[in-house]
Structure 1
Amino acid sequence: MIEVPSQYSTFRFRNAMGVHGDCLEVLGQLPPNSIHAVVTDPPYGVKEYDFDQLEKRSNGNGGVWRIPPSFDGNTRSALPRFTALNEKERRQLRRFFVEWTDVLLKPLVPGGHLIIATNSFLSPLVFESLIKGGLEYRGTLIRLVRTMRGGDKPKNAEQEFPEVCSMPRGCYEPWGIFRKPLSPRMTLADNLRQYQAGGLRRISNTAPFEDVIESGRTPKLERAIADHPSLKPQEFLRKVVYASLPLGKGIVLDPFMGSGSTLAASEAVGYESLGIERFEDYFNLAEEAIPHLYQAIDLKRQNSLAL
């Protein structure tokens, strides 16, 4: 496991380590060529994870967060209003991801992949910035999942325009697949031999990793373990994490650790992982949640058998 400077608070669970700190600062202090893949779901809405906006979400006041009504007695998770970004905030988003990519390239090995969650509304902006920062675009992974975003009728004019929706109902989630360029004059095979990176791990000898994965919403069991607004299901994450290390060797990084779900998925497939989280509440949540998310699918199966 990578050694992290002592000024940062850390926790460990088996082969996973979490770090409490700003990802730009921590990434800048990691050794060169020490990270083999990145799987992450960043706060790409920029302002929804500002401290004042998180406080509004916690208090149920909304702010930039959309607080959905209860349905069938269940309270749905708050969702960020991505369409609320103005042009200034879009420039900030572009600048952040260009700078972030520049910092990431040092610890990422040549050929190391970044697999990054986004949404259909912002993916062109985010992808453009990652390419400008120096990563190669390698494709888009489509997570087939019906979200609660989109499909709404015109606000305050629902009765006047009953046959109109402001934008399509979301039925997929795009994850960008990027790669740090291979070392000069190296073939993919050469790069695999030296850095254990450059490709994606196959599902089996006869089945390659595919760019469409059917995925339901995050199960209630996992949401009960980790109260995080963008928690992804372990069943989906484990497939993505597994593919990220072509030889099954190396360290998977999540620089926006949140609840620690990527680290839990990495542990489940037998990989080493490192997570970075700047918000103390989420850092503490990840430390508590990772051991339980790691066991979540087995617990779900046990519960279904008990029924």
Structure 2
Amino acid sequence: MKPYYEHTGITIYHGDCREILPRLDPVDLVLTDPPYGISHPCKYKSRGRGALAQCRDYPNVYGDDKPFDPAPYINQPAILWGANHYANRLPNSGGWAVWDKQRPDSLDQSTCELAWSNIIKGVRRIAYLWNGMIRAGKDELFHPTQKPIEVMRWCLLLKWTKDKQSILDPFMGAGTTLRAAKDLGRKAIGIETEE
């Protein structure tokens, strides 16, 4: 199986993770933001007014029209974002990560996101501003459900993950997990269906 991209510990495969994963060696940690199975619309221009009308439209997220099956990822150390959307398919865990987006409650969008984990102990929170066009940092938006690099870096620096040297993101999207891993000198594998 030939990687789409490979350089200094970062490997990207273009394709369906269900076909690629069985051929990969085990990794130390799965850190991913999978399609939740909620058919989230990604056409922002038609919903925007004023400055929001300048927002980008994105293609719908591949696989978001089907319920997400976390089973292939939960028998190894994992942090799975969006887990509140498929919690009924996850084993009980006292370990959750919370990303506080620092959004006002007056908006219809979530003010935080949740990640299930089988290695984090207790509930851990990061506050990082991410409110549409108003964002901390300089991350450009390439994907409709993109997580900030800083949030993924935080995940990799938790005391339960800082020794994990090989990271897998089977739903790579914009690649922020891989960027965070590279910045920290870790090896990472990403899989993405879209080019």
Tell me if TM exceeds 0.5. Answer: yes
Match of 1:14 in 2: 8
Could you tell me whether the CA contact under 8 Å between 2:29 and 2:164 is conserved in 1? no
TM-score by length of 1: 0.51
Give structure 2 stretches of 5+ with no counterpart.
Answer: none
Alpha-carbon distance between aligned partners in 2 of 1:150 and 1:66, rounded to the nearest angstrom = 20
Query: Cα gap change, 1:70/1:237 in structure 2, threshold over 3 Å: closer, same or farther?
Result: farther
Give the counterpart of 1:139 among 89, 95, 101: 95
Structure with more contact order per residue of length (Cα contacts < 8 Å, sep ≥ 6): 2
Could you tell me whether the CA contact under 8 Å between 1:37 and 1:245 is conserved in 2? no
| 1:232 to 2:147 alignment | yes
What's the CA shift string for 1:241-293, capped at 9, x where partnerless? 2227645243111010011110001111121111011122xxxxxxxxxxxxx
After TM superposition, where is structure 1 displaced by more than 6 Å over at least 4 residues in a row?
none
Match of 2:23 in 1: 29
What's the CA shift string for 1:103-123, capped at 9, x where partnerless? 336xx6xxx4211211xxx71
Match of 1:222 in 2: 139
Cα distance, 1:72 vs structure 2: 3.9
| 1:45 to 2:37 alignment | yes
Could you tell me whether the CA contact under 8 Å between 1:15 and 1:271 is conserved in 2? yes
Alpha-carbon distance between aligned partners in 2 of 1:17 and 1:249, rounded to the nearest angstrom = 16
Count of residue pairs the alignment pairs up = 188
Could you tell me whether the CA contact under 8 Å between 1:248 and 1:271 is conserved in 2? no
Bigger fraction of residues in helix: 1
* SS of residue matched to 1:256: coil
Identical counterparts, % of pairs: 23
| Rg larger for | 1
Alpha-carbon distance between aligned partners in 1 of 2:104 and 2:4, rounded to the nearest angstrom = 35
Give structure 1 stretches of 5+ with no counterpart.
Answer: 153-168, 180-198, 201-208, 281-307
Could you tell me whether the CA contact under 8 Å between 2:95 and 2:123 is conserved in 1? no
Alpha-carbon distance between aligned partners in 2 of 1:40 and 1:233, rounded to the nearest angstrom = 12
